[in-house]
Chain A
Amino acid sequence: MKTLILGAAAAALLHITPTVILVDRPEVVSRLLDGADRFTAREVHLSSADERRLHDAAGWTPPDDVITFYLGKRADRVEGVLVFMRVDSPHGPMEVAVGFDKAGAIRGVEVTKATVETKPWIMEALRAGLTDQYRGLASTASPAGAAAVKGKVGAMAAYMAELVDRGVTHAGAAYRLFYR
């Protein structure tokens, strides 16, 4: 009985998995839009046809059919583009920031949000060099960060890496289809 009660109490506490900020957005901006001194939010409200096109390309549709690109500019020239992608999992959502350079290649990827539950797994994947795998990738390329860290990390960290891959894939498709 006591075990049952304590187990239930522990579960009651553990089921709460609030979001934790791994990197705040201004910090992400300074890392992925380095050199920009002016910023523009470009909201793309997708039509039904474009929504289907995106779904066919990446198996994903954005919340409310809106994709927001953040453009970093210097002297009115676009230095880079940043997009935040939410990726859901049974263990809670994570947010991935993907920065593109002027040529359209990935400048960097940051995992900005996790949950209390997923944070240790994500940190393990990051320590294994997950985000290094994306640097320089074209928006058309299939990210393979998870494959690169597989074997160096545990099963859950490898699963988190797959989710980050998915976020990068979504960002690449969004950029390719609706930014360029």
Chain B
Amino acid sequence: MLYDLRRSDARVRWLVTLLLATLGVAYVFGAWMVGMYAGFTPRSVAATYVEPTTMNMAMPAETTTVVERDVTPAEMGHEEQHQVDRALLVQDTHVHVPMYGVIAAILSVVALGLAIPRWMGFALITLLFAAPWLDFMGMWLTKLASPHFAVVTLAGGWAMGLGYTIVAALALWQMWRPAKGAQT
């Protein structure tokens, strides 16, 4: 153990607590946003990231065709499935992956201060970094290979939540649980 959160200065524990709370808020809103734009099912994630051609959508035809249908103003307001095209995914990957790396590193630093077996430390750090890899690998494989890889993105998202939950729960418990024999 490089350091021990249980015996760290109260200011360090307070910092870690606020950090975990802040990241928790970010994750909650992240999940909310995912629900709004991509959904939590393989089908909706695939519809968000897949290239149109792999969804069996029509290739540009030899002649332009026109289809008309009556709509109501309310139907005009109907939101179409949010789609992330290749250019936007390049941009998303560029912006998000470094930040996910920083967050995984910060949570890993917190994990290093936990009183857990060495193998569990390795597993936890691996999980924290594997989650964003799975997340973006799933998005790119869904786009470039097959819509079935949407499950990889879902697995990455859940792994991210799981990693955070394990670190946050263990850290908060170990930092703030009443010491044995302490007066209550």
Q: Which residues of A contact B (CB under 8 A)?
A: 2, 5-6, 8-9, 11-13, 15-16, 18-19, 24-26, 29-30, 38-48, 50-51, 63-65, 70, 88, 90, 93, 178
* Cβ of B93 under 8 Å from chain A: no
Contact for B36 among A12, A18, A63, A70, CB less than 8 A: A18
A51 x B73 contact (CB < 8 A): no
Number of B residues, CB within 8 Å of A: 43
* Cβ of B60 under 8 Å from chain A: yes
User: A8 CA to B108 CA in the complex, in Å?
Assistant: 14
A8 x B58 contact (CB < 8 A): no
Contacts between chains A and B (CB distance < 8 A), count: 103
Whole-angstrom distance between the Cβ of A114 and the nearest chain B Cβ: 15
Contact for B66 among A42, A65, A70, A88, CB less than 8 A: A42
Chain A residues within 8 Å of B57, by CB: 64
Chain B residues within 8 Å of A11, by CB: 99, 102
Whole-angstrom distance between the Cβ of A32 and the nearest chain B Cβ: 11
A25 x B76 contact (CB < 8 A): yes
User: A8 CA to B23 CA in the complex, in Å?
Assistant: 10
Contacts A16-B26, A88-B88; is A47 near B77 (CB within 8 Å)?
no
Chain A residues within 8 Å of B64, by CB: 44-47, 50, 178
Chain B residues within 8 Å of A51, by CB: 60
User: A47 CA to B63 CA in the complex, in Å?
Assistant: 5
B62 x A47 contact (CB < 8 A): yes
